């Protein structure tokens, strides 16, 4: 029924739009021509009157008549051109009016997402306002840093670089990180972020300048996983797959426990190893939550440290779920953790993320009731 209604509405719009296109003449243009012809006639009569009154000579009068007559002849030829153009344009528009909707429906049938949720206009307005506010804040921060007598604190430039990265202004981010990288207090993280921004600015291509920053980052802290990953990408881009695989494998071997970054390393390594006949990399088991040792350590903390510890564990769980959004039990743990922390909005978001995962569960599955009850209370 929906498609039928859409087709009927499309045909009605087609008929309305094609009515002026299929007219045999362009009425507005012809009316303009008729008006111009009357003006030219008045101008010829005016030349005769000026000649009689002695305002112009015979030579000037003849030249003026000739010019006006030339314009009248040109207008007559234009009528034929207008009619011809009207017919040809009408045919082209008719073909386009039929072909474009058909082509559009075909393309949408292949690439469209009819089940995608629409974005409310109010929400888009809020996003635009937030983006504008972030841009203004970044501009003011940059102005303060550049106006500072000693060039501004490194923390400010790092914050500015991170902000630019979030805004996809990678060249600006690289410039901000570059300011800190040139200072004596630059550490491994600064150089890796500088290299990452340079890579993003080149659409993923790792330039010699970017690789230099990665090398400096690794020299300062070999445990920093970011430069190792990008070094592997640099080897891969040069076609040195053995070196790329080895960098990833060596870094994974240095880690004792599971870390979120390991999945990216293993994914890239296993993509490479199929081309060079190397063994697949197996990651350690990913913990479902805080270990027993973590919980025991939390018991020995004071209230502030315990809250900070719990917050860090919740942040880690949220980051893992962003990479694996199909983990229903993980979303439920995250929602309960946010409830404990008193962050009701984030708890609701976690339950909403779990909602699509429980829709197909049996009615007697307790997890389905937990999610539905939680959302009904909010």
Asked which of 195-199, 273-277, 320-324 is least confident by mean pLDDT, the reply is: 320-324
pLDDT at 207: 94
pLDDT at 355: 87
Q: 28: number of CA atoms within 13 Å, CB side?
A: 3
The whole-angstrom separation of Cα 192 and Cα 213 is 6
Tell me whether residue 249 is in a domain.
Answer: yes
| 199 — pLDDT class (breaks 50, 70, 90) | very high
Please state, for a pLDDT cut of 90, what percent of the chain lies above it.
22
* Total count of domains within the chain: 3
- Same domain for 166 and 101: no
CATH number at residue 182: 1.25.40.10
What is the DSSP-derived secondary structure letter of residue 284? P
Tell me whether residue 334 is in a domain.
Answer: yes
- Same domain for 206 and 304: no
- Same domain for 308 and 255: no
> What is the per-residue DSSP string for 183-203?
STT--HHHHHHHHHHHHHHTT
CB under 8 Å to 371, separation ≥6 — which residues?
A: 332, 351, 354, 355, 358
Tell me whether residue 284 is in a domain.
Answer: no
3-state secondary structure of 300: coil
| Strands annotated E in the chain | none
Q: How many CB atoms lie within 10 A of CB 308?
A: 11
pLDDT in tens, 89-130: 555 555 655 565 665 666 555 555 555 555 555 556 666 777
3-state secondary structure of 222: coil
User: Which tokens belong to 332?
Assistant: 């439920």
Tell me whether residue 282 is in a domain.
Answer: no
Q: How many CB atoms lie within 10 A of CB 231?
A: 22
User: Which tokens belong to 75?
Assistant: 């207008």
| 24 — pLDDT class (breaks 50, 70, 90) | very low
Please state the rounded mean pLDDT for residues 340-361. 83
Single out the residue in 252, 276, 300 at which a domain terminates: 276
- Same domain for 151 and 96: no
Single out the residue in 226, 249, 276 at which a domain terminates: 276
- Same domain for 272 and 143: yes
Q: Which residue has the higher pLDDT, 121 or 351?
A: 351
353-360: long-range contacts, CB 8 A cutoff, minimum separation 24? 353/321, 353/325, 354/328, 357/326, 357/328, 357/331, 358/328
Please state, for a pLDDT cut of 70, what percent of the chain lies above it.
61
User: Which tokens belong to 377?
Assistant: 């209370």
Burial of residue 3, with CB atoms counted within 10 A of its CB: 0-12 exposed, 13-18 middle, 19 or more buried:
exposed
- Same domain for 100 and 145: no
| 26 — pLDDT class (breaks 50, 70, 90) | very low
Tell me whether residue 26 is in a domain.
Answer: yes
pLDDT at 201: 93
- Same domain for 265 and 153: yes
- Flag whether pLDDT at 274 surpasses 50: yes
- Same domain for 100 and 9: yes
Please state the rounded mean pLDDT for residues 26-49. 63
Please state the rounded mean pLDDT for residues 15-30. 53
Single out the residue in 244, 276, 308 at which a domain terminates: 276
Asked which of 16-20, 134-138, 190-194, 238-242 is least confident by mean pLDDT, the reply is: 16-20
Q: Are 51 and 123 in contact (CB under 8 A)?
A: no
- Same domain for 224 and 327: no
Q: Which residue has the higher pLDDT, 343 or 164?
A: 164
pLDDT in tens, 216-264: 999 999 988 999 999 999 999 999 999 999 999 999 888 877 777 888 8
For the chain, give the number of residues: 378
- Same domain for 221 and 353: no
Tell me whether residue 235 is in a domain.
Answer: yes
Q: Which residue has the higher pLDDT, 365 or 78?
A: 365
- Same domain for 97 and 31: yes
CB under 8 Å to 225, separation ≥6 — which residues?
A: 251, 259, 261, 265
- Same domain for 272 and 134: yes
Tell me whether residue 171 is in a domain.
Answer: yes
The whole-angstrom separation of Cα 4 and Cα 51 is 72
> What is the per-residue DSSP string for 7-57?
HHHHHHHHHHHHHHHT-SS-HHHHHHHHHHHHHHHHHHHHHHHHHHHTSS-
Q: Are 350 and 335 in contact (CB under 8 A)?
A: yes
| Domain, as residue range, for 97 | 2-109
What is the DSSP-derived secondary structure letter of residue 152? -
Find which of 12-21, 34-43, 291-300, 337-346 is predicted with most confidence, using mean pLDDT: 337-346
Tell me whether residue 305 is in a domain.
Answer: yes
CATH number at residue 320: 1.25.40
Please state the rounded mean pLDDT for residues 351-364. 81
Q: Are 337 and 314 in contact (CB under 8 A)?
A: yes
């Amino acid at each position: 029924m929906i498609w039928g209604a859409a087709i009927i509405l499309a045909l009605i719009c087609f008929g309305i739009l094609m009515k002026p296109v299929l007219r045999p003449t362009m009425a507005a243009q012809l009316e303009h021509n008729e008006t111009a012809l009357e003006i030219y006639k008045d101008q010829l009569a005016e030349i005769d009157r000026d000649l009689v009154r002695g305002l112009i000579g015979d030579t000037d009068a003849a030249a003026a008549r000739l010019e006006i007559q030339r314009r009248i002849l040109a207008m007559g030829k234009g009528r034929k051109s207008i009619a011809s153009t009207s017919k040809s344009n009408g045919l082209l528009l008719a073909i386009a009016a039929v072909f474009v909707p058909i082509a559009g429906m075909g393309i949408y049938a292949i690439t469209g997402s009819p089940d995608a949720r629409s974005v409310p206009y109010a929400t888009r307005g809020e996003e635009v306002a937030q983006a504008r506010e972030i841009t203004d804040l970044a501009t003011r921060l940059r102005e303060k840093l550049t106006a500072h007598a000693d060039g501004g604190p490194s923390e400010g430039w790092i914050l500015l670089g991170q902000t630019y990265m979030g805004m996809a202004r990678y060249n600006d981010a690289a410039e901000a990180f570059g300011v800190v990288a040139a200072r004596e207090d630059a550490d491994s993280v600064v150089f890796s972020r500088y290299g990452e921004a340079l890579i993003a600015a080149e659409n993923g291509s790792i330039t010699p300048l970017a690789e230099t920053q990665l090398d400096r980052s690794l020299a300062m802290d070999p445990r920093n996983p970011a430069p190792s990953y990008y070094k592997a990408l640099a080897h891969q881009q040069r076609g040195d797959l053995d070196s790329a695989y080895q960098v990833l494998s060596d870094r994974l071997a240095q880690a004792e426990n599971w870390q979120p970054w390991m999945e990216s390393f293993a994914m890239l390594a296993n993509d490479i190893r199929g081309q060079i006949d190397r063994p697949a990399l197996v990651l350690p088991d990913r913990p479902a939550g805080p270990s027993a040792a973590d919980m025991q350590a939390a018991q020995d903390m004071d209230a502030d440290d315990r809250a900070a510890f719990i917050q860090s564990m919740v942040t880690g769980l949220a980051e893992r779920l962003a990479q694996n959004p199909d983990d229903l039990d993980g979303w439920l743990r995250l929602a309960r953790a946010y409830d404990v922390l008193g962050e009701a909005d984030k708890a609701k978001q976690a339950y909403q993320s779990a909602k699509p995962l429980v829709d197909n569960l049996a009615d007697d599955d307790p997890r389905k009731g937990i999610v539905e009850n939680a959302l009904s209370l909010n």
